Structure 1
Amino acid sequence: MRINLAMNDRQGLENALTEASDPTNPNYRKWLSRADVEYYARPSSDAVRSVRNWLSSNNIDAKTMSLSGDWLKFTVPVGTANSMLKAQYNVYEHTASGKQTMRTMDYSIPEDLQEHIKAIQLPRKCRHPVTHESNNESVYTYHNNEAKVISISGHSKYGSSVNKASNANASSTKAPIPTSTASFSNCNDTVTPACLQKLYGLPSSLRFSGQIYLPTYINQFLDGASNSQNLSDAGAEANLDIQYTVGMANNISVTFVDIGDQVRDGDDGGFLDIINDLLAEQKPPLTTSYGVVGDESGLSKPLTFAMCDAFMTARGVSILYATGDGGVASSPGVDCDGEPFLAAWPTCPYTTLVGATANFPEKGADLSAGGFSNYFGQPLWQQKAISGYLEQIGTKLYSGLYNRTGRGYPDVSAQGKIANFPLWRNHFHRRDISFFTHFCFHRRIT
């Protein structure tokens, strides 16, 4: 389990971020230091003492898992969890898949701790199992002379990111490969890094084609690891992500870290640990990009707000998420009963949400998720644009199905639909998917 303690001065942290993000403010781009963030985000001594005393009374020794000390983690027997949280943990089975999970329907904390505890991250809730082509998540680390840029990609544990129609469109074909001087008409048939570099004005990479594999590039191996050479096991999206990240990231080395799907970190699937680890670095990454999406209601409001506050401590780091493939109704089709529309996850206002475009020249992609948060209100920097948009569409379209006062998304968009991506020996993979979009925008700002 993990417990999030209330920050000492959350409002001060938010004010500092707002000033540093506003081009009209004298403090624009004057990002906080790690010591500054620790000052704002650390919990009060009273909060730490009260919560630790409660845990100690239940024979629990919690460890600090964040730089500022606002996150604690511990392992606890089920019987103790039932006692201290007035809960009743049971094993539940998903009827359609037969998969089992342990959870409690209710829990509570002592009244005198409620002002100190913002969220408790419990073991996973029951969720609809989702079939994906690959369930691996990936972490990319870009290095340059000054700092690092991290990119994280993969499939959600709590939302369908690729629907059946998209999987049906996956195919392997052969087609002419556009060069850096190719017309955009060829790019409608086959999207290469050269197409994207030309479209977005990116510099060409020094090594682009003909060097897919060089033995000298790989010099570390794992004893006893599986080594499947079946094409079906290759993981087309992970393959796509890493090839196009490297192909578009000129003069920036990339480190690929495979997280896998056997995480036991509760509902967030391990990403809270990643956030805390990266933000604890003396030189944090310049940019992080997460290709994971779910539905907003998949996490509780307290946990969602707590994770969003973790993003707020990013010290000038650009945090990007893909919005997903579900259109206005969001991704998890098995959960969508028509009203209201399910907002995507995350919709945190301290992140940049990237949607999908299609074709050359570009137009909005119909699969790209977009809409309004049911958790977060509109930040000030969105209100002018959103009010104009809502005035255009009027009040009758989808009336009552979305939150007109919520945080709107996406913020930006890039290529992501109906294209053949060359992956291996001039074979191509057709993908209708928005998870690739944030890499394009990520590369542009990198």
Structure 2
Amino acid sequence: MRLLPSFVALALGLLVSADPLLSPYRVHERRGHIPVGWSYDRKHDSTAAIPLRFALKQNNIDAIGDYLMAVSQPESEGYGKHWSAGEVFRKFSPSTESIGAVLAWLEENGFDSSRAKLTRNRGWIEVQATVEEAERLLQTEYHVYGHETGQEHVACDSYHLPEHVQSHVDFVTPTVHFDAKISKRSGSGSPDGTARSVGQPGHGTSPKTTGEIQTLLNQLESCDKQITPICLRALYGLVYEPLAASKNSYGIVEYTPQAYLQSDLDMFHSNFSQGLVGVAPEMVSIDGGYAQTQYTGFEYNGESDLDLEYAMNLVTAAQPITLYQAGDMVEGASFNNFLDAIDGTYCTFEGGDDPTQDAIYPDPYGGGYEGPEDCGTAKPTNVISTSYSYNEADLTPFYTARQCAEYAKLGLMGVTVLYSSGDYGVAGNGGYCLTPNGTYSLNGTIFNPSFPGTCPYITSVGATQVNPGSTVYDPEGACEQVIYSGGGFSNYFAMPDYQKTAVEYYLTNYYPQYPPNIWNASGTSRGFPDIAANGANYVVAIDGTFNLVYGTSCSSPVSGAILTMVNDARLAVGKSPIGFINPTIYSSSFAGVFNDITMGGNQGCGTAGYTAVPGWDPVTGLGTPNFPKLIAKWLLLP
């Protein structure tokens, strides 16, 4: 499981070290292409301010997979003995040597102690610099990029670090990454969507719809046409009333401007769960996030309405739902904002704010959230579901490795983290695939995996469907209506040990007949998704009407609700939450507890994609949950 730093080094092709006394500069990160929707605008003003952040290397991070397996593998003596936030902090806090090396280098380049600030968790060093100073320090050139919506972003094509500093730094922001927007937007706040649709991770990952429903069907015999809660309960055997709701928790993550409408929740619940009418989720605001109502429509309300309506219904009125609403209407937010707030070891140890200005908050340009950045202020729930994603190729190997390690830390603390696997089959968001030169194209032929779906420390959720003409008592197939279940093999992350038997069986018996230059055919990379759930024909109340909705955006919150009820059963008998589930669900003791999906595929990139087959496959993973079998197996574990 010691895969992150070694694979990152491999992916970047780092040069062999030279004489340390000379400490030559080396390329630390390089971006191969400009993400879809962005284009070069102009050279950045040399006198403009840039809030540089240096992500320091963490101690013992190469062994984080081993630590996680010790509390997550069912055969382990330490199963379920999760760590406290303090234990996580002490184990992974960057060394004094790393802090000293970076501070000394900054001081040599004119940034004395009054300008270079170490965050309270010792994980970041922050410096306010002019563009001219940053370009000299990192041997790069900063540009301003424009998005098709009017958003602007500051970035460079690559940057350099001295050889003796490289080993102490994961990455620097803002540099090559397009996960956050730090410059003043033009036209933000206009109702035509300007600067609205890129204010969250993975532009293009929202659920899809075929429009308004004329006649509402709520019978089991109609589940091939409309999915309602009774369909899901019948498909997955979810007949359960919570017993330990006060000890349990389930969190849904949304990124502003996506927001729910209470009137939509009430409309849905009045038809499917009367006890929830008038009930709102318990909202935790992250960096100015709020349930905005200024802009409405499917683009703004579809995701959040979907997630909350089904999550709340399936866990029943007895179990409160936590809504993590990240980012304000101007700046938006990235996954790093959420991780800052949810994991105190990522930003500020043992809670509280770290009132230093970073690349996003406080908004240095005015008009946005100007309070302190939320760091360690949000308590993590036992299960967290997120229906947003990037393409893996949008981000650099160092950056994805750092985030992936943070999900491992959450697993160590007993948190189950679910991410939707994507809606475009083997293609990336929007149906874009990669080309031989590393750029995106709708005509590309190289498979484009999602992130964090490829992170080995989260559970990736694909999508299935009740096949046309079938019932909930018939086997489901892979989703091939409107969307295709995202799946495939990572280009960044090595195959984790817990997955080897299942993936090797697939590659031995059902090897994809595609040229090795369009997919990662090494046989040593992380496969995804891990599991699946229905993602087609959902009935969702959006802006006062019922709509048919499709996507892995549906399957992730439904899977999270089912796992939340498993947690309830364990907590009711005095056991720990299930935490990081992958080592358990891939184990031989859990064989047969998921409904195996053997029909359908996930086309994309001009191909038929992969095919659902017996056992694990890169379309539907291990299959869909069978709640009675899952709860019985997990109750037997310590």
Q: TM-score normalized by structure 1?
A: 0.80
Tell me the equivalent position of 2:36.
none
Most deviating of 97-106 and 23-32:
97-106
Tell me the equivalent position of 1:248.
314
Matched, 1:350 2:457: yes
Most deviating of 254-263 and 237-246:
254-263
* Alpha-carbon shift at residue 373 of structure 1 (Å): 0.2
Q: Which of 398, 420, 423 pairs up with 1:302?
A: 398
**Contact map agreement 1:357 1:364 (CA 8 A) in 2:** yes
Tell me the equivalent position of 1:197.
233
Q: Deviations over 1:160-204 (max 9, x none)?
A: 2259xx4xx4311232342xxx42x22223222232223223246
Residue ranges of structure 1 left out of the alignment (5+ in a row):
138-153
Would the alpha carbon gap of residues 216 and 111 (structure 1) be closer, same or farther in structure 2, given more than 3 Å must change?
closer
The 1-side partners of 2:204 and 2:525 are apart by 23
Q: Deviations over 1:315-362 (max 9, x none)?
A: 221111100101012324342443321111111101100001111342
Tell me the equivalent position of 2:156.
104
Q: Which of 406, 409, 421 pairs up with 1:313?
A: 409
* Alpha-carbon shift at residue 97 of structure 1 (Å): 5.8
**Contact map agreement 2:490 2:525 (CA 8 A) in 1:** yes
Give the share of equivalent positions with the same residue, in percent.
26
1:381-396 matches, within 5 Å, as: 381-394=498-511, 396=513
1:42-441 matches, within 5 Å, as: 42-56=93-107, 57-59=110-112, 60-64=115-119, 66=121, 69-93=122-146, 99-122=151-174, 125=177, 157-162=201-206, 166=208, 169-178=209-218, 182-183=219-220, 185-203=221-239, 208-210=272-274, 213-214=277-278, 227-228=293-294, 235-250=301-316, 251-260=318-327, 268=335, 270-277=337-344, 284-314=380-410, 315-334=413-432, 335-336=440-441, 337-346=443-452, 347-359=454-466, 360=472, 361=474, 362-366=476-480, 367-394=484-511, 396-397=513-514, 399-404=516-521, 405-423=524-542, 427-441=545-559
Tell me the equivalent position of 1:444.
562
* Alpha-carbon shift at residue 124 of structure 1 (Å): 6.7
* Alpha-carbon shift at residue 418 of structure 1 (Å): 3.0
**Contact map agreement 1:358 1:364 (CA 8 A) in 2:** yes
Tell me the equivalent position of 2:574.
none
The 2-side partners of 1:122 and 1:98 are apart by 19
The 1-side partners of 2:493 and 2:75 are apart by 24
| Letter in structure 2 aligned against 1:113 | V
* Alpha-carbon shift at residue 409 of structure 1 (Å): 0.3
Would the alpha carbon gap of residues 187 and 34 (structure 1) be closer, same or farther in structure 2, given more than 3 Å must change?
same
The 1-side partners of 2:134 and 2:459 are apart by 37
Residue ranges of structure 2 left out of the alignment (5+ in a row):
1-51, 182-191, 243-268, 352-378, 433-439, 467-471, 565-638
Tell me the equivalent position of 2:614.
none
| Letter in structure 2 aligned against 1:121 | T
Would the alpha carbon gap of residues 402 and 101 (structure 1) be closer, same or farther in structure 2, given more than 3 Å must change?
same
Q: Deviations over 1:232-271 (max 9, x none)?
A: 6761222121211211222211233432465758975634
The 2-side partners of 1:392 and 1:216 are apart by 48
Tell me the equivalent position of 2:61.
10
The 2-side partners of 1:256 and 1:310 are apart by 20
RMSD: 3.7
The 1-side partners of 2:279 and 2:460 are apart by 37
The 2-side partners of 1:216 and 1:410 are apart by 31
3-state secondary structure, aligned to 1:324: coil
**Contact map agreement 1:86 1:107 (CA 8 A) in 2:** yes
The 1-side partners of 2:234 and 2:195 are apart by 32
Would the alpha carbon gap of residues 246 and 3 (structure 1) be closer, same or farther in structure 2, given more than 3 Å must change?
same
**Contact map agreement 1:286 1:316 (CA 8 A) in 2:** yes
The 2-side partners of 1:89 and 1:415 are apart by 44
The 2-side partners of 1:259 and 1:240 are apart by 17
